[in-house]
């Protein structure tokens, strides 16, 4: 496999963008990524874009930004659609099929029904699982908040985790968000404010659940040969990429968390030749935080700390 790097990126503001079409949200990040890369857009040979609701919008955005005639692939994989698009762009170059690709993630959720973006299918799956009496279906028929609330309660019972520990994740994230002018939330919160917010599914209050958010991001990837040929000065090399999947209801035999996350993390760290502690001590990691509970168990599943020590990690800063 060939070496691949990210050479440019662009990000839209995130939040309620009711007045904007998909194309109006997606065009600026694409143009910003190309400008940031400092390349002629004619060098881009393929596109992968992730979205659940925007059928065909990637094609329109690429055409409207001058990327005409290249192969364009839409990726639909729920919350990981954007990162899957990135992975496919990476594999396209690593395999030798292309030398320069663009990957984009885009979604417009604020004023769109879940049924429009495939939610109807998901609810059918949940209903079928629930009818078989599985408490480990996604929320047991109660939706995503209920599923992660069950995981959180199991973590509390097994390891003594407190509601304040989950709330502290929100406090940390809100503080960080105020340093990013493109983040949706621009106000800090205290632990008491988080805990006293509207209860959704115990122990999850409203501020511990992600909102429906509009936004987009795009990155340019390039092969090592092309980087040398076109004199790219500051490439960010991709050391590893791994992916996994699991039974929709999770693994009831696994401690609170997602066993597939743990297995995939082991594979990607091995491929990169690094240890989880390398990120914790000298770098940074980004976790999918759809709910406060999910972030805490990701700390543990990724190996940043041992099972049951996620609360200590967040509380220690």
**Mean pLDDT, range 105-121, rounded to an integer:** 64
Q: Name the domain count of the chain.
A: 2
Query: What are the CA-CA distances from residue 191 to residues 156, 171, 208, 299, 311 (Å)?
Result: 17, 6, 11, 20, 14
Q: How far apart are CA 119 and CA 140, in angstroms?
A: 16
Q: Is residue 98 part of a domain?
A: yes
pLDDT band at 113 (very low <50, low <70, confident <90, very high): very low
The answer on pLDDT for 123 being more than 50 is: no
Q: How far apart are CA 150 and CA 160, in angstroms?
A: 15
List of residues 6+ apart from 229 with CB closer than 8 A: none
Q: Examine the domain organization and report whether 179 and 37 are in the same domain.
A: no
173-206 pLDDT per residue, tens? 999 999 999 999 999 999 999 999 999 999 999 9
Q: Examine the domain organization and report whether 216 and 274 are in the same domain.
A: no
The DSSP code for 284 is -
Q: How far apart are CA 147 and CA 152, in angstroms?
A: 9
Q: How far apart are CA 135 and CA 113, in angstroms?
A: 26
**Residue 61 maps to which CATH number?**
3.40.47.10
* Range of lowest pLDDT (53-62, 149-158, 178-187): 53-62
Q: Examine the domain organization and report whether 264 and 153 are in the same domain.
A: yes
Q: Examine the domain organization and report whether 186 and 261 are in the same domain.
A: yes
Instruction: Show the domain range for 106.
Output: 4-110+212-237
Q: Examine the domain organization and report whether 85 and 230 are in the same domain.
A: yes
Q: Is residue 44 part of a domain?
A: yes
Q: Is residue 131 part of a domain?
A: no
Helix axes 57-64, 22-37, angle to 10 degrees: 50
Could you count the other beta carbons within 10 Å of the beta carbon of residue 233? 7
Q: Examine the domain organization and report whether 46 and 195 are in the same domain.
A: no
Q: Is residue 135 part of a domain?
A: no
List of residues 6+ apart from 276 with CB closer than 8 A: 265, 269, 302, 303, 304
**Is residue 171 within 8 Å of 191, Cβ to Cβ?**
yes
**Is residue 189 within 8 Å of 294, Cβ to Cβ?**
no
pLDDT of residue 251: 57
pLDDT of residue 172: 96
Q: Is residue 133 part of a domain?
A: no
Angle at 126 between CA 151 and CA 111, to 5 degrees: 90
Percentage of residues in the chain having pLDDT higher than 90: 73
Question: What's the pTM?
Answer: 0.88
């Amino acid at each position: 496999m060939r070496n691949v790097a990210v050479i440019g990126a662009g990000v839209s503001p995130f939040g309620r963008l009711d007045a904007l079409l998909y194309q109006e949200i997606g065009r600026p990040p694409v143009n910003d990524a190309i400008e940031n890369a400092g390349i002629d857009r004619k060098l881009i040979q393929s596109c992968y874009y992730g979205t659940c609701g925007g059928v065909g919008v990637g094609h329109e955005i690429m055409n409207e930004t001058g990327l005409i005639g290249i192969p364009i692939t839409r990726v639909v994989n729920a919350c990981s659609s954007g990162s899957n698009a990135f992975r496919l762009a990476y594999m396209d170059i690593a395999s030798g099929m292309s030398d320069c690709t663009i990957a984009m993630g885009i979604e417009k959720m604020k004023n769109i029904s879940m049924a429009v973006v495939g939610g109807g299918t998901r609810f059918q799956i949940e209903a079928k699982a629930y009818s078989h009496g599985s408490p480990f279906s996604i929320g047991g028929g109660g939706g995503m908040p209920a599923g992660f609330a069950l995981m959180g309660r199991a973590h509390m019972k097994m390891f003594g985790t407190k509601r304040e520990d989950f709330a502290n994740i929100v406090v940390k994230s809100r503080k960080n968000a105020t340093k990013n002018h493109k983040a949706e939330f621009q106000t800090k919160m205290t632990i008491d404010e988080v805990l006293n917010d509207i209860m959704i599914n115990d122990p999850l209050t409203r501020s511990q659940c992600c909102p429906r958010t509009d936004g987009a991001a795009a990155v340019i990837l390039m092969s090592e040969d092309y980087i040398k040929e076109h004199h790219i000065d500051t490439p960010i090399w991709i050391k590893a990429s791994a992916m996994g999947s699991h039974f929709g209801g999770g693994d009831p035999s696994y401690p609170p968390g997602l066993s597939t996350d743990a297995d995939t993390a082991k594979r990607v760290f091995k491929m990169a030749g690094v240890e989880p502690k390398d990120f914790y001590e000298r770098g940074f990691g980004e976790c999918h935080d759809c709910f406060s509970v999910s972030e805490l168990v990701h700390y543990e599943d990724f190996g940043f700390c041992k099972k049951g020590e996620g609360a200590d990690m967040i509380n220690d800063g």
